[in-house]
Amino acid sequence: DTEVTQTPKHLVMGMTNKKSLKCEQHMGHRAMYWYKQKAKKPPELMFVYSYEKLSINESVPSRFSPECPNSSLLNLHLHALQPEDSALYLCASSQDRGRYEQYFGPGTRLTVT
Amino acid sequence: LAKTTQPISMDSYEGQEVNITCSHNNIATNDYITWYQQFPSQGPRFIIQGYKTKVTNEVASLFIPADRKSSTLSLPRVSLSDTAVYYCLETGGATNKLIFGTGTLLAVQP
């Protein structure tokens, strides 16, 4: 199984809502990532988890809160988002940190109203 | 800030070989060169990776000269389904941070 799954596929939320994005992989990968991608732009790294611990936070605003409950799951908790946070949120995993291939999920299309 | 430079777009026709070149002017000694493909509204997909000389797999070839200041992704006999954005990246080190540049939008026409 070389699949990374993400739920939901689409999410519309108001600026006062709290929601969560979920990501799951069963490849035994020990590194997991969140990226944000705006339309017609390249993906931008947000967070890196390594062995279930946050290792990189790319100066992401605190309204985005990542969580790694176990080695297979990665969540991104959203609170008080702004319309400019609307984007495709991509999750990825790799065997470990370093030069290993990253496997990306299909993404969650988020719209903040 | 992206570390690589590549053309914004390229056009091709079905059945042709396509070569996309990327500049790696400041590549670190320990970094590998990796290419990803992305279709609209999907996550990027790994294509190929190399350190130097030539690497070939079932979908592409990667040419890296001895000075490693550039790389060329070669797609043999492209089809319409190869229309996508192609990203070259420098990968490795302890962080495995993927820093995506602008990518090259390849448009394959019939």
Instruction: Give chain B as a DSSP string.
Output: ----B--SEEEEETT--EEEEEE-TT--TT-EEEEEEE-TTS--EEEEEESSEEEE-SS-EEEE-TT-SEEEEEESS--GGG-EEEEEEEE-TTT--------EEEEEE-
Question: How does pLDDT run across B65-87, given as a tens digit for each residue?
Answer: 999 999 999 999 999 999 999 99
Cα separation, A90 vs A47, in Å, equals 11
What's the pLDDT at A35? 96
Of B32, B96, B101, the CB nearest to A97: B96
Residue B72 and residue B94 in contact, taking contact as beta carbons nearer than 8 Å: no
Query: How many CB pairs (< 8 A) connect A and B?
Result: 66
Average pLDDT over chain A, rounded to an integer: 94
Q: Determine contact: A44 vs chain B, CB below 8 A.
A: yes
Residue A87 and residue A110 in contact, taking contact as beta carbons nearer than 8 Å: yes
- The reply to whether residue B42 touches residue A99, judged by beta carbons under 8 angstroms, is no
Question: How does pLDDT run across A27-60, given as a tens digit for each residue?
Answer: 999 999 999 999 999 999 999 999 999 998 888 9
- What's the one-letter identity of residue B102? T
| Residue A99 to chain B, least CA–CA distance (Å) | 4
Res. B97: pLDDT tops 90: no
